C-alpha cells in the first residue's frame, strides 16, 4: 500500500462557492459539502508524520464560506508545535477586517483570485466590488497579499492594466499567472478561451515593462511569479520542475476525504488516489509525472534543462486544444530578462 507524506497539503475545506466564474473548473457545482475537523486532522497527521516542515494551503470552492471551520482548523494547527506554513486562497468577497486580523493571528499568507481591473473582474468572476473592497482592507490593515490570475484570451492583452491597478495598493506584493485549464466550465463553451500566441507574447511583454516601471516608485516591489520561476530555474542551471504533484510531494484532500495529487486534478477519476480512510488507488504522482514538457519538445529552446517546466495537469487537460502556451510565457520572460541584462547567456 502506498503511503502519502505530502510536504504540500491542500485542504479543500468546502466545494461551495459564492461566485459563478464562467470558466469555473468545478463546472456548474456551486453548492457542496464542507470538511469536518476530523477529516482535516487526519490529513494533517499524514503530513506531520515524517517530522519535516510542510505547507498547508486552505482552499475551496470559497474557503471563507466556512470561516468558522477554517479558524477551528487553524487553531488546531497552531496549538501544536508543527513546522508548518499556511496560506489561504480566496476570492475575497467575505474578507472583512475581523477575518483579516484573525488570519494574521494564525500567520496565514493571503492570496486573492483576481483576473483584472474591476470591470474585467466583474465580467470574468463577478463580485468585483467586494473583492476590491477586500484588497483595500488588506492595504489599510498593512497585510501583504498576492493575487493569482487565470490567464485567458479575455485578459492576456490587459495584464499591464492589472499591474497598474495593483500599483494603487502598496501591500500588493505579487501576481501569479495560471493559464486557463480546459476543465469543468472551461472545457466547453465559456466566456473565455486560451489566448493566441501573439496576444499572449505582447501581453506578457507589456506587463513586464509596466511592472519594472511601477517598481521604481514602490517600496514593496510587485513581483511576477513566473519571472521568479524562470530566473530561479535558469540560474540554478539544472532541471528543477516546480510541480510538487508530479514529484509526489503534494496532496489535495476533499471534504469527503478523497485524495488527489493537487486541487487542479480534484474530481478527475483518472487522478483519484484513494481516501484518507486507507483505500489507495495509485501512487501520489498518478500519471502527472509522465506529462512533462521536455525531451524533443524542448530541444533548441534556450531554457532546455533550465526551465521551471509546465504544469503537468494543465498539459493533460489542454493537450489537444493548443500547443504549449506556457512556453510562450517562459520564452517571452526569458528574452526580456536577456534584453534587460538580468541573465547572461
Binding site for ligand SF4 (CB under 6 A): 243-246, 250, 262, 264, 288, 293, 297-298, 301, 303-304, 307, 310-314, 324, 327, 330-331
Sign of CA dihedral 100, 145, 153, 207: positive
Q: Which is nearer to ligand SF4, 127 or 185 (CB)?
A: 185
SS (H, E, C) 138-163: HHHCCCCEEEEEEECCCCHHHHHHHH
The distance of closest approach from Cβ of residue 271 to ligand SF4 in the complex, given in angstroms and rounded to an integer, is 9
The distance of closest approach from Cβ of residue 274 to ligand SF4 in the complex, given in angstroms and rounded to an integer, is 17
Q: Which is nearer to ligand SF4, 130 or 301 (CB)?
A: 301
The distance of closest approach from Cβ of residue 17 to ligand SF4 in the complex, given in angstroms and rounded to an integer, is 18
Q: Which is nearer to ligand SF4, 40 or 329 (CB)?
A: 329
Q: Which is nearer to ligand SF4, 46 or 266 (CB)?
A: 266
Continuous H helices in the chain:
37-48, 67-79, 97-105, 118-124, 128-140, 159-167, 197-215, 225-236, 312-318, 325-339
Question: How would you list the strands of the sheet with 84-90, edge to edge?
Answer: 223-224, 172-179, 145-151, 108-113, 84-90, 54-59, 8-12, 250-253, 258-260, 274-275
- In the numeric block, which cell numbers belong to residue 63? 474557503
Q: Which is nearer to ligand SF4, 145 or 260 (CB)?
A: 260
Q: Which is nearer to ligand SF4, 58 or 243 (CB)?
A: 243
Select from 64, 53, 51 the least CA-distant residue to 93.
Answer: 64
The distance of closest approach from Cβ of residue 282 to ligand SF4 in the complex, given in angstroms and rounded to an integer, is 14
Q: What are phi and psi of 79, to 5 degrees?
A: -70, -30
Q: What are phi and psi of 39, to 5 degrees?
A: -65, -45
Q: Which is nearer to ligand SF4, 25 or 145 (CB)?
A: 25
Q: Which is nearer to ligand SF4, 169 or 234 (CB)?
A: 234
The distance of closest approach from Cβ of residue 107 to ligand SF4 in the complex, given in angstroms and rounded to an integer, is 23
Q: What are phi and psi of 115, to 5 degrees?
A: -100, -5
The distance of closest approach from Cβ of residue 250 to ligand SF4 in the complex, given in angstroms and rounded to an integer, is 5
- In the numeric block, which cell numbers belong to residue 262? 493537487
Select from 230, 252, 104, 258 the least CA-distant residue to 171.
Answer: 104
The distance of closest approach from Cβ of residue 311 to ligand SF4 in the complex, given in angstroms and rounded to an integer, is 3
Are 227 and 338 contacting, i.e. CB atoms less than 8 angstroms apart? Answer: no
The distance of closest approach from Cβ of residue 115 to ligand SF4 in the complex, given in angstroms and rounded to an integer, is 17
Cβ burial, residue 323 (10 Å; 0-12/13-18/19+):
exposed
Amino acid at each position: 500500500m502506498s503511503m502519502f507524506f505530502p510536504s504540500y497539503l491542500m485542504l479543500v475545506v468546502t466545494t461551495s462557492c459564492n461566485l459563478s466564474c464562467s470558466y469555473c473548473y468545478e463546472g456548474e457545482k456551486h453548492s457542496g459539502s464542507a470538511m469536518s475537523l476530523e477529516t482535516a486532522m487526519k490529513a494533517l497527521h499524514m503530513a506531520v508524520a515524517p517530522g519535516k516542515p510542510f505547507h498547508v494551503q486552505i482552499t475551496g470552492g470559497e474557503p471563507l464560506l466556512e470561516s468558522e471551520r477554517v479558524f477551528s482548523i487553524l487553531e488546531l494547527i497552531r496549538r501544536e508545535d508543527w513546522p508548518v506554513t499556511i496560506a489561504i486562497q480566496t476570492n475575497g468577497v467575505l474578507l472583512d477586517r475581523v477575518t483579516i486580523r484573525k488570519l494574521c493571528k494564525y500567520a496565514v499568507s493571503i492570496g486573492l483570485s483576481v483576473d483584472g481591473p474591476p470591470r474585467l473582474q466583474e465580467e470574468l468572476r463577478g463580485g468585483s466590488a467586494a473583492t476590491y473592497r477586500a484588497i483595500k482592507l488588506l492595504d489599510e490593515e498593512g497585510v501583504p497579499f498576492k493575487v493569482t490570475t487565470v490567464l485567458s484570451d479575455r485578459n492576456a492583452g490587459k495584464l499591464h492594466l492589472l499591474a497598474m491597478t495593483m500599483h494603487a495598493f502598496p501591500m500588493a506584493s505579487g501576481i501569479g499567472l495560471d493559464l486557463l485549464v480546459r476543465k469543468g466550465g472551461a472545457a466547453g463553451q465559456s466566456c473565455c478561451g486560451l489566448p493566441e500566441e501573439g496576444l499572449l507574447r505582447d501581453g506578457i511583454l507589456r506587463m513586464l515593462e509596466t511592472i519594472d516601471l511601477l517598481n521604481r516608485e514602490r517600496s514593496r516591489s510587485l513581483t511576477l511569479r513566473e519571472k521568479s520561476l524562470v530566473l530561479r530555474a535558469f540560474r540554478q542551471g539544472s532541471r528543477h520542475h516546480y510541480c510538487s504533484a508530479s514529484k509526489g510531494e503534494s496532496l489535495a484532500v476533499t471534504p469527503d476525504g478523497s485524495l488527489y495529487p493537487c486541487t487542479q486534478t480534484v474530481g478527475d477519476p483518472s487522478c483519484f488516489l484513494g481516501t484518507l480512510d486507507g483505500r489507495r488507488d495509485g501512487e501520489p504522482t498518478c500519471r502527472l509525472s509522465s506529462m512533462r514538457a521536455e525531451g524533443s519538445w524542448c530541444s533548441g529552446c534556450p531554457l532546455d534543462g533550465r526551465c521551471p517546466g509546465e504544469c503537468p495537469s494543465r498539459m493533460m487537460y489542454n493537450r489537444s486544444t493548443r500547443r504549449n502556451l506556457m512556453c510562450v510565457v517562459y520564452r517571452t520572460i526569458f528574452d526580456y530578462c536577456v534584453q534587460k541584462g538580468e541573465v547572461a547567456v
